[in-house]
Structure 1
Amino acid sequence: MHLDLYFFAFAIPAVVFAGMSKGGFGSVASFAATPFLALILTPGQAIGLMLPLLIVMDVTAIKVYWRKWDWPIARTLILGAVPGILLGGALFGFANPDVFRFLIGIVAIGFVIYQLAKSRGLVPTPKVKMGARGGIFWGGVAGFTSFISHAGGPPATVYLLSQKLEKTTFQATSVLVFWAINALKFIPYFALGIFSPETFKADFLLIPAAIAGVFIGAYLHKNISEKLFFGITYVFLVVTGAKLMFDALL
């Protein structure tokens, strides 16, 4: 990892965009930073770089949405995430980087396909609230996808949408869930050697971009449509996801 102008030309927009999603759009698209960074870094470097910054964003967003969350719903997802995180850690210990490039690409494109299908009514929105078992299951999926690419937002959202939460409660609950999931990932990331001295140096330099992104997102939460934000995200994810999959298969 070389901290030169080329690196920051990718890293700063990626981190700001992730912060915007954290601060205003349910954290669902914050993982878009990982496939973007994986274009110039190894998958391990990309997820390692983003985790401390995501934790900074989570702490900042928690202050914005303090105690506006639904704790029982958040708790269910957090408990379910633990086995998913353990599974992700086990896979990371045995897989080569191209496996993770391919998985990150699949998750990126799969997210877009899922969202477009849902918007056209091909994926029905749950008409009744899921119980604790549903929350544990989707929490487990969120823990796994979060571990490999910080992409826990979509599966967690499946459960959150079934709870019929008000917009701000939904956002606050999502913020709390991913603060906990990201904190839980830190120890296995450290044990697997995902972090490096360069990781923390880069993170320190990118903290202002992370915090700025959260506040920009909180502002946009009230002032622009989600349709515009996610439309840009979808194009971004398809391009980067396809590139990662192509590179992994070469």
Structure 2
Amino acid sequence: MDIGIWGFTALAAAAALVGFSKTAVNGANTVSLAVFAAVLPARESTGVLLPLLLVGDVIAVITYRRHAHWPTLLRMFPAVVVGVVAGTVFVAWADDALIRRSIGAILILMVAVTLWRRRAAAGGDAGGADTGRGRPPSPEPERRAGRYAVRSYGVLGGFTTMVANAGGPVMSLYLLSAGFRKLGFLGTSAWFFLAVNAFKVPFMVGLGLIGAESLRLDAMLVVLVVAGAFVGRATAARIDQKLFDRLVIAATTAGGLQLLLL
């Protein structure tokens, strides 16, 4: 891949952001996938990014493994599988421009829906930081999403993660809408994406998106993912819950607009 020094610098910064997003602000890696899609061909960029995401997933699981809410994960997985299969068919058929713009449009729509739902919620009580005062942090959501919401977010998450590794914002918006607090949010999403991204690998290999060339580039970038993850781990404890929610939504919006307007 002839990407030049500036292209590699951009990929290096995006790789560090992958690690940071996995341990601090899930959803921020939409900026990373937009950078990868801008520097590399959109289809090939997904194959380069996936192994880096898996490295970040492993670090996130090690960091937040005790805070996952397994009932949520088990409810979502069947719908995610449907979305991954649909995404595989789409990637085999669509060109780069359609892939980028489709994912960007989906992300912006999901942000709009989430903001509307949060505004309509009585009292807007999804926040509240996990400060540890008065009671231990819990992975339990403050309210349980309905079956239709679980299936919808699951299919969308599986589809977007297969098409452009963009399932993070969809999952983030679902967890926010379900009322997850910060640690439960990070723990549940960590296990979710480790499982989903590992499940995607055979599909990516079968589509020819992961190979020797992409893995060589990954080998040069992986140390930056690890560094970013440790910065995120040190930062997450200092982020207020309301700020955390806003950062997730802002990162999702920025990434969606970049994909839509590239």
TM-score (norm 2): 0.81
Q: Mean alpha-carbon deviation: is it higher for 153-162 or for 14-23? A: 153-162
Q: Deviations over 1:190-233 (max 9, x none)?
A: 10111232210010111111111111112221224437745873
* Counterparts of 1:101 and 1:165, CA distance in 2: 29
Name the CA distance, whole Å, in 2 between partners of 1:88 and 1:234. 20
Q: Does 1:139 align with 2:154?
A: yes
Partner SS for 2:208: coil
| Separation in 1, partners of 2:115, 2:149 | 23
Contact persistence 2:61–2:191 (CA under 8 A): yes
Which of 165, 182, 193 lines up with 1:167 in the alignment? 182
Give, in whole Å, the separation in 1 of the partners of 2:249 and 2:85. Answer: 33
Where 1:223 maps in the other structure, the secondary structure is coil
1:37 counterpart residue number: 36
Cα RMSD between the aligned structures? 2.7
Change in 2 beyond 3 A, CA 1:185/1:130: same
Say whether the 8 Å CA contact 2:172–2:248 is kept in structure 1: no
Match of 1:18 in 2: 18
Q: 2:154 and 2:253 mapped to 1: Cα distance? A: 27
Q: Deviations over 1:31-64 (max 9, x none)?
A: 3211111112111121111100000000011101
Select the residue among 196, 203, 208 that pairs with 1:193: 208
Q: 1:8 to 1:122 in 2, by over 3 A?
A: farther
Identity %: 27
**What's the secondary structure of 1:38's corresponding residue?**
helix
Query: How many residues in Structure 1 have an aligned counterpart in Structure 2?
Result: 242
Structure 1 equivalent of residue 104 of structure 2: 105
CA distance in 2, matches of 1:131, 1:195: 36
Q: Identify if the C-alpha distance between structure 1 residues 24 and 49 changes in structure 2 by more than 3 Å, giving closer, same or farther.
A: same
Q: Which moved more, 1:80-89 or 1:131-140?
A: 131-140
Separation in 1, partners of 2:113, 2:51: 28
Query: 2:111 touches 2:173 (CA, 8 Å); kept in 1?
Result: no
How far residue 235 of structure 1 moved from its aligned partner, in angstroms, is 7.4
What secondary structure, in the 3-state scheme, does the structure 2 residue paired with 1:65 have?
helix
**Residue segments in structure 2 that go unaligned for 5+ positions in a row:** 127-141
The question of 1:243 aligning with 2:239 is answered: no
For residues 201-216 of structure 1, the aligned pairs below 5 Å read 201-216=216-231
Does the residue aligned with 2:209 lie in a helix, a strand or coil? coil
Contiguous gaps of at least 5 residues in structure 1:
245-250
Name the counterpart of 2:47: 48
CA-CA distance at 1:93 after TM superposition: 1.0
Tell me the secondary structure at the aligned position of residue 28 of structure 1.
coil
C-alpha spacing 1:210/1:123, structure 2 compared with 1 (3 Å): farther
* Bigger shift: residues 76-85 or 233-242: 233-242
Deviation, structure 1 residue 238: 6.1
* More moved, 73-82 vs 198-207: 73-82
Give the Cα separation in 2 of the matches to 1:123 and 1:30: 27
What is residue 2 of structure 2 aligned with on the other side? 2
Q: CA contact under 8 A between 1:65 and 1:172: conserved in structure 2? A: yes
How much has 1:69 moved relative to structure 2?
Answer: 0.7
